[in-house]
Amino acid sequence: MEERLILVDEKDNIIGSEFKLATHKQGLLHRAFSVFIFDQTQRLLLQQRAAAKYHSPNLWSNTCCGHPRKGEETQSAASRRLNEEMGFYTPIIHVSSFTYREEVPGNLIEHEFDHIYIGQFNQIPQVNPNEAGDWRWID
């Protein structure tokens, strides 16, 4: 079953839901999160999105990003997806949020109210190959 995304207004108030692909094709504003994980030397952990992803395959991106489910707190969703994609849990803190709109390949539009989380992790991630094709630490 296709995932439904939480549609929001410019203040992150819920106004409805829509299927994920339709949301990205129509450029509807929806709730999202981005996680940035650093190690003890302040290197940033990046992932390369899996080749099979319909949205931005093979793109090098931040550590993890995604969408909360209906009724799920955004921080809980970010922790869940961090484990599902990168294979670990670590404490994360909310540092900011912003709205952006970007046309991406495949005639898709990212239009997100994006919550930003940061955390620290000092081990080797165990990435899920369905989510990430590769990973690396960058200075």
- Tell me if 98 sits within 8 A of 114, measured CB to CB: yes
Integer angstrom CA distances of residue 55 from 4, 13, 21, 32, 42 = 15, 25, 9, 15, 29
Q: Catalytic pick from 65, 85, 110, 131?
A: 65
Give CA 16 to chain center in angstroms: 20
* Dihedral angle over CA of 111, 74, 62, 42, nearest 10: 140
- Tell me if 52 sits within 8 A of 122, measured CB to CB: no
Catalytic site residue 18?
no
Q: Catalytic pick from 64, 85, 110, 112?
A: 112
Catalytic site residue 65?
yes
Through-space distance between the first and last CA atoms of the chain, rounded to whole angstroms: 39
Structure-token match 């793109």, residue found = 59
Residues labelled catalytic: 65, 112
